[in-house]
Amino acid sequence: MSKREITLVASSQLESHGTVSTVSAGDDRGDRIEIEEKKGGHVLVEIALDVASAGPRPQNSSALSDLPEGGLHAWLTILGAFLVQYASFGYINAFGVYQDFYVRDYLNNYTPSDIGWIGGVQISLNFCLGVFTGGIFDRGHLSLMIGSILLHAIARTVLHPIMLNRLFNSPRVGFHTGIRISAGLNILLLVVAYAMMKPNPRLSLEGHSKSSTDEEETQPRDWTDRFPVLRWLREPAYAVSVFASVFLFSGTFFPVFYLQLDAIIHGIDPTFAFYAVSILNAASIAGRTIPGALAPHVGLFNLGSVMMLAMGVVLFCMAPAVSTGAGTAPVVAFALLFGFFSGAAIALTPAMFAQLAEDASEVGTRLGVVFGIGAAPIAGALLTKHYYWIRPIAFCGSLRHGGDTMLNYTYSIAIGAHYGAPSTQEEVDTLLTHAVAVGARFWDTSDVYGDSQNKIGNWFAKNPDQRKNVFLCTKYGYCRLPTENTFSGACSDPTYVPQALEASLSALQTDYIDLYYQHRVDPKVPIEAVLESLRPAVESGKVRWLGLSECSVDTLRRAKKLKGLGEKVIAVQLEYSPFTLDVEKNGMAEACKGLGVSLVAYSPLGRGLVSGRYRSRADLDPQDGRLWLPRFSEENFHKNLLIVDKLKAVADKIGCTPSQVTLAWILAEHPDWVVIPGSRSIDRLEENTKAGEVVLSLEDVKHLRKLVDEAEVAGNRYMDSLMGETYANSLPLTEWNA
């Protein structure tokens, strides 16, 4: 039996897709990708320096994705939520009115520091039940449109301070009667809201419960199943985010509570000062809406970080803005700027924290913990009776910057998707040199895999004669900030793609790329427009061949029909392993064969799980991005080892490793596929290349197929928030407005 030529992905960076592939490039840099068997089977090694492919995560498509939109009950629920926000958080956000009244009139025997604790405790109580109410939300008892509620929340923070100021300062009403009127109104609004809000029956405890098998039910429950918060706090990113929330929220509310008092103390007209907090809260309307619309384009964490940084900078300006004696203009400017940036930060923060959840059914509880622990504004205690405004302002600004820094670190360890610590340039050079020595010439990377392109480029700079011997693949389609190790999601804007290409050519230190993939389908841009943006590069020779990744069958067919470019689309990269068999079931495998497109199967070893080297989460580096994937979660890890152990039993019988038997089985069933497993070390490289020497009998192949088909895989390959990017459809050309 002939050995099969295998192309392996040797990942020198933090993470890697894998690939065992039968892809070979001709001496003319690859006029086609050919799948072939060779006598004596020479093993190629594909170098896929993926640093961020573990970005996508969880599983369990929750019922949230199936919720209908609109309808009377839905809009009544939104209106009810507005009333709840007005009566609860609106009242809290109006504490600045109380602070001013207490200090100057009602409690003038106490210092501002003493009075400041009233608002701090009050808002802490408002949030401290978050862990319980979040759990209720997760179980479907409240179906709310979060974005609309946040917008309504700011609307009532504009109205409430105005109402209280008018009541307290009215000769006919005054403080005591105003309090009673406000309390009675809030109770009435809550009753009305309760009557209006209707839970969605499709988000019930039934939908929240697990559909466990009898075997699962007999397994002893881990004590963290009953208290998942304790399990989450062992996740580095979530633990850091909770700690960051203490800084973020402790530094957020000081201007809301004290701007009115600060303005009056510094001689601002009281009539105007009464509206200062309302101006601040009104500015938050734009802050909570405009950045939300921009987030999908520039990245949630990228935008959130900028908004938080700006909020902290503006906060430092509170003292000079109010105390300059220049009148109301500086106060208005501060209120508008702080309102906008704080509104953006507050609106984006929950979404940022929510991305750390492994499942949509955890989001409410996770956020409840974050808000419940974090909401404790104490800066008012630093004011003292002498009104040292700079103390609490500097304190809050520093806390905001500290929390922002920690949250950025949270994102880097949660979304960076590293397979352990990065390899050094020396380690990369050694691995790539060895790969070439054993005949490897199909290398795969991407512009979002950390500095993988740069390290490959540095190797090419040291070995310029080897470029012609390597079939080089890279990818575009995730927008990112040039100074950030983060990405924002699918982005293939026709103006962006050529820029991404030039950046990759520069990083790789080459003047052409053999195969240029769209990393993920951009649902906002037709595939025809995306490929047209690369036509000049194809015609000039900068790009020799085109590919897609995680696209739908329809998107692939449209790409192949494009005149002058369709014939250049020769590969589709998709995930396939004993844990992920989607391509065999959704028509993609048949479509590729019919269209003459090579199917490149990444992560064939289940991101290393098949190897058997990892028996628990503790075996992974704390920086390893796989810790954030559902299949590697505390709940699912041990369940998936059942598949690994069965593969190992077959491998032991044949006399090879589990990785080798898996690669040999995939190639036996799909001899025309390109399979690319990851290899970060020479040992793994040698192990994977020898999979081409494994001989499987027909009975072995059938047994492995039965084993894989009957396996119960626990957890999805990516998070819910990113599963939508898999097998994605491109925007119809008729719906696109260029």
DSSP β-ladder status, 23-24 and 19-21: unpaired
Is the sign of the CA dihedral 586, 591, 593, 598 positive or negative?
Answer: negative
Burial of 383 (0-12, 13-18, 19+ CB in 10 A): buried
- Identify the residue whose tokens are 């991404």: 500
State how far the Cα of 31 lies from the Cα of 45, in Å rounded to an integer: 19
Catalytic residue among 275, 449, 478, 718: 449
Nearest by Cα to 519 from 566, 481, 487, 484: 487
b/e per residue, 101-113, with b = 16+ CB within 10 A? Answer: bbbeeebeeebbb
3 state SS for 73-130: HHHHHHHHHHHHHHHCHHHHHCHHHHHHHHHHHHCCCCCHHHHHHHHHHHHHHHHHCH
Distance, C-alpha 645 to centroid of its chain: 32
Distance, in Å, from the CA atom of 453 to the CA atom of 265, rounded to the nearest integer, reads 58
Residue 375 token pair: 């909401």
Q: Is 449 a catalytic residue?
A: yes
Which amino acid is located at 232 in the chain? W
Length of the chain: 738
What phi and psi values does residue 473 have, to the nearest 5 degrees? -120, 140
> In whole angstroms, what is the distance from residue 570 CA to residue 613 CA?
35
Give the other-Cβ count within 10 Å of 702's Cβ. 11
Q: What is the DSSP letter of 490?
A: B
CA distances from 365 to 123, 131, 234 (A): 19, 5, 16
Catalytic residues: 449
